[in-house]
Amino acid sequence: MSALMAIDELKTRGSNEGRVPAGGRPSTLALGADWTELPAATELAALLLRVPVAGVQLTEPVDFSALPHHVIVRIIALLRECSAIGARATWSLILRAEQLDLVPRLDHLPAPESITVLEKGVPSVGEWRSSRNFGLLYFRKGPKFLSVVDQRPESKNLITVNDPTMMEVFLQGLEGCAWAEVTRTPQYAAAARDLVNKGLVMRVGDHCVTLPVHMRSWPLGVALLGGTLASAGKKSEDFAE
């Protein structure tokens, strides 16, 4: 089992060209002891591409029944970025029974080790589709457009997003943000609602988050290497500008 590493240590190593102590093994990044201290999703992705880690562990259960909306969207964004760069994510999920409809909207992300439904007990993690299929919902960036591949059976589709307002809302939601930020004018509000209706953005109370994984690299061999795509090398899957 690898040692645990705090986010401050990851940042230090990131500024030191990702150097691992001599004779040491990559550590596991531990997050969640204080949900208010979560790094921004894109910041974490940039660090993990520079610093090899054994994985990312959320040390406390992700309790959708109790956590504030702004924390939930930040966690979803972090899990999405772990998937984007091939970092193993270890986490557990707590839901209320009426929140079970969230599972098919989130199960393209790394599967939790356990799912607890407060009124029902613990269902099988096998119901989480990414545990059987990789690449269920992802996007690639092109010059002035986004190409979204949705391979979930209930919404199988190839979507091209080329409207500038819709692209802006989509990209702004990658970090997880307040719903009011992406609905600031009628034009933006219409774009945000359209993305929600297409299943590309999820609204969580007064916040929202973009769901498709940015497929920067296809994570072939990552499981064998036991690290991130920083250790596997990158093969860009975005379109050339």
Whether residue 90 contacts residue 57, with contact meaning beta carbons closer than 8 Å, is answered with: yes
pLDDT at 220: 47
- φ, ψ for residue 139, nearest 5 deg: -135, 155
What domains can be seen in the chain, in order of their start residue?
Answer: 1-17+24-131 (no CATH), 135-219 (1.10.10)
Amino acid 119: pLDDT: 80
Question: Contact 110/79 with Cβ under 8 angstroms?
Answer: yes
Instruction: For residue 190, name the pLDDT band (cuts at 50, 70, 90).
Output: very high
Listed range (134-143, 151-160, 226-235) with the worst mean pLDDT: 226-235
- pLDDT, tens only, 118-127: 887 776 666 7
Structure token pair of residue 19:
């150097």
Task: Label residue 225 by pLDDT band (50, 70, 90).
Answer: very low
Residues in the chain: 241
Cα 144 from Cα 21, distance rounded (Å):
42
Phi then psi dihedrals of residue 157, to 5 deg? -170, 155
Q: Is 219 exposed, middle or buried (0-12, 13-18, 19+ CB in 10 A)?
A: buried
Q: Give the model's pLDDT for residue 221.
A: 45
Q: What is the pLDDT of residue 238?
A: 65
40-44, 72-76, 90-94, 180-184: the lowest-pLDDT one: 40-44
What pLDDT digit, counting tens, does each position of 47-69 carry? 988 888 899 999 999 999 999 99
* 167 token code pair: 């692209």
pLDDT tens per residue, range 81-93 = 999 988 899 999 9
Q: What is the DSSP letter of 51?
A: S
**If we measure between CA atoms, which residue out of 171, 151, 170, 150 comes closest to residue 159?**
150
Confidence of residue 230 (pLDDT cuts 50, 70, 90): very low
Q: How confident is the model at residue 128 (pLDDT cuts 50, 70, 90)?
A: confident
Please report, to the nearest 10 degrees, the dihedral formed by the alpha carbons of residues 165, 134, 215, 63 taken in order: 60
Q: pTM for the whole thing?
A: 0.86
Radius of gyration of the chain, Cα coordinates, nearest whole angstrom:
18
CA 2 to chain centroid: 23
